[in-house]
Structure 1
């Protein structure tokens, strides 16, 4: 006797309410519109996987072209960024790890363009070393997290060594386009983030919510489900934890449809994380579009 589909999986939603389609859904019950939506999602995912993990910078005007027929608020925000010198965007692949990849690129470019790259590299190296005891305290395998950290530490050390090919913007991008190296760094940063949240649970517990149900999660559940697995997008809690763990300021320009402010400096909503986000503190600067992070800078485009 053939099995009947689970009624719960085939039941259509109330009128006007899209139903959730998952592995339990009987495919024979899909409408033409639902099939088209699934196919579009698969095409988008395949397109993302064909993009480089990190791209060389493009002019901000390229991003603007994507919105020319869209929201006027977003166009005005992009124009404000351009008028204030934010002239290039370094794109990260939209695979759920874009924040950590963008953080890595901005972190290394910050070292590269400091007045004393060797000193800045040493400070970055020390900040990472100070994060290690928390990882060990949380029970992460030392051999494992040191192995994941090694590619990032090697890149940082390269700034103190003359003649290293990574000591240019293009060299950094090339290094981060290598999947094995880039993915190791993503895992390492996720473990640093997780260990900071776990060891500061009193600070973070009010903000640890499920992104799907918006219900509170325990520190352990949040870190296991939303921080440590690759492909999980970062939100404010993860960003704040990584900024604090590595003692670096982060400023994120939110490119959304929110109303424009009346003041000249409030056209863009800059969200700040970390101890020093002033211009003198040279924070990492990212561009956020719903569900995605890239790096935005004022630097001159590299001559490749």
Structure 2
């Protein structure tokens, strides 16, 4: 997942971005792009507020999962996610540069056997969010709204299986569950989709580039003050 310069080819919607990071296309590109971009920015923060906030999110999701009574791999996958957050906190304590810490993150996400449980957790988190806020999501799922399929069955078919492509509802649910700003850009001129923008407090914001069937990470140009919240060192 190296970074490359953005060439907008005259498309004004991409002029605000300087670099992008291609992400492997294995059916997990949205989840991989989202969590890598988010944690990359968390590594730049001097405090551990975001890591601790997400650990609290995991605990709340665990309680919701128990209420739903699902027989899933939530326990194992949530442990893996918590261990990743703990790794991030340890990396931030290291006497090293920001770029070195991000190299550790890149190494972690370059090994599929380490990330399999991370993506499984994120998918389960999406399913929990959707089922816990059915009034928000059911109207946008015709087969569920019509009564032809239950919401849980739909989630187990369209959300939790590895490699299943993510759609708007899944993206919205993940960003909402984690309360992380998510913006999706495309190669279509003047088209930007704000998936989630509601936290109301300063937090890392994830911006992805969608090309029709794949997601990559995209980085805003440095601001006049020297850097952007998206920009890695």
If the TM-score is normalised by the length of the shorter chain, which range does it land in? 0.7 to 0.9
Distance 1:286 1:117, change over 3 A: farther
Taking the aligned partners of 1:251 and 1:152, their CA distance within structure 2 comes to: 23
- 1:251 maps to 2:183: yes
Distance 1:155 1:296, change over 3 A: same
Taking the aligned partners of 1:76 and 1:270, their CA distance within structure 2 comes to: 19
Q: Which ranges of structure 2 fall in alignment gaps of 5 or more residues?
A: 221-229
- 1:242 maps to 2:165: no
Q: What are the Cα deviations for residues 151-170 of structure 1, in whole angstroms up to 9, with x where unaligned? A: 32222122332229897222
Distance 1:171 1:189, change over 3 A: same
Is the CA contact (8 Å cut-off) linking 1:196 and 1:242 kept in structure 2?
yes
Is the CA contact (8 Å cut-off) linking 2:183 and 2:192 kept in structure 1?
no
Map 1:131-150 → 2, pairs under 5 A: 131-141=61-71, 144-150=73-79
Count of residues in correspondence between the two structures: 217
1:192 corresponds to which residue? 125
The Cα RMSD (Å) is 2.7
- 1:155 maps to 2:89: no
Taking the aligned partners of 1:126 and 1:155, their CA distance within structure 2 comes to: 14
Per-residue deviation at 1:268? Answer: 3.7
Which has the bigger relative contact order, CA under 8 A and spacing at least 6? 2
- 1:97 maps to 2:28: yes
Taking the aligned partners of 1:235 and 1:216, their CA distance within structure 2 comes to: 20
The 4+ residue runs of structure 1 with deviation greater than 6 A are 164-167
Q: Which residue of the other structure, out of 216, 219, 222, is the alignment partner of 1:297?
A: 219
Larger Rg: 1
1:177 corresponds to which residue? 110
Q: What are the Cα deviations for residues 90-131 of structure 1, in whole angstroms up to 9, with x where unaligned? A: 2222122111111110121121123x3422222222222222
> What's the secondary structure of 1:159's corresponding residue?
helix
Per-residue deviation at 1:227? Answer: 0.1
Taking the aligned partners of 1:153 and 1:164, their CA distance within structure 2 comes to: 23
- 1:58 maps to 2:4: yes
Q: TM-score, normalised by structure 1?
A: 0.64
Per-residue deviation at 1:58? Answer: 2.0
- 1:76 maps to 2:10: yes
Map 1:223-238 → 2, pairs under 5 A: 223-238=155-170
